Amino acid sequence: MIEDVQNYLNEIRRDFMKQSLSENDVEKSPFDQFAKWFEEAVNSQILDPYAMTVSTVDNNCKPSSRVVYLRDISENGLIFYTNYLSRKGHDIEVHPYISVNIYWAELERQIRIEGTVNKAPKEKSDEYFAKRPRESQIGAWASEQSSVIESRTVLEERVKYFTEKFKDKPVPRPQHWGGYIIKPYYFEYWQGRPNRLHDRIVYVLENNQWKIKRLAP
């Protein structure tokens, strides 16, 4: 079976033909460029265009990656929400740096972002949590994210417990759950091109100013 996978990996080839990207065409702000590409992704009906892979490192500098949803963006940064006691939460506690990758295969585009990361203001987390579906609010209490559990039954019992505990009243935000805000110092916009000669336009924050540069593919 593994040989079939190896053959596929060695034989499959797909070229990138759809669009180009020039440093003369991009927006001056990487956030404006993000908004432009994100709108095009939404209009292209890409499934979960806000899905992004975030990578962190632990105290031993071992990396780990996972997909989360981008839930807000402004000139102040990008925000996602999670359990602060999760593996990524522990990683961020010791190394407050993060790498983000967003890939839209349908548009042959990729966005890479690097930056510092810290907890979002409590008011921001409270506001977002209050808008979540009630079942998701209960889930935030029930799941001790990234911890080992004996079976799914354990999780289901915790859901029942917190469902009963908060019956007929608002579900408060757990103190161990909330937002993280990523403050970027690097953006890379990647557009697939024929013959692997891809376009790579980067924004680098230098002396509080965004500098636009082109990288070799």
In a domain, 20, yes or no: yes
In a domain, 155, yes or no: no
Average pLDDT, the chain: 94
Secondary structure of residue 131 in the 3-state scheme = helix
In a domain, 145, yes or no: no
DSSP 27-76: -SSHHHHHHHHHHHHHHTT-SSTTEEEEEEE-TT--EEEEEEE--EEETT
In a domain, 154, yes or no: no
CATH number, domain with residue 96: 2.30.110.10
Number of folded domains in the chain? 1
Q: Which pLDDT belongs to residue 15? A: 54
> How many whole angstroms separate alpha carbon 51 and alpha carbon 166?
30
CA contacts within 13 A on the Cβ side of 176: 15
In a domain, 56, yes or no: yes
Average pLDDT over residues 189-208: 95
In a domain, 170, yes or no: no
Q: Which pLDDT belongs to residue 43? A: 95
In a domain, 3, yes or no: no
Q: Which pLDDT belongs to residue 18? A: 72
Q: Is the pTM of this model over 0.85?
A: yes
* Domain residue limits at 201: 14-128+175-215
> How many whole angstroms separate alpha carbon 67 and alpha carbon 200?
23
Report percent pLDDT > 70 for the chain. Answer: 94
Q: Which pLDDT belongs to residue 151? A: 95
pLDDT tens-place string over residues 163-193: 999 999 999 999 999 999 999 999 999 999 9
pLDDT tens-place string over residues 48-79: 999 999 999 999 999 999 999 999 999 999 99
Q: Which pLDDT belongs to residue 146? A: 87
87 annotated active-site:
no
> How many whole angstroms separate alpha carbon 56 and alpha carbon 133?
28
Residue 83 has pLDDT above 80, yes or no: yes
**pLDDT band for position 199 (50/70/90)?**
very high
Residue 7 has pLDDT above 80, yes or no: no
Q: Which residue of the set 87, 112, 196, 214 is catalytic?
A: 196
In a domain, 153, yes or no: no
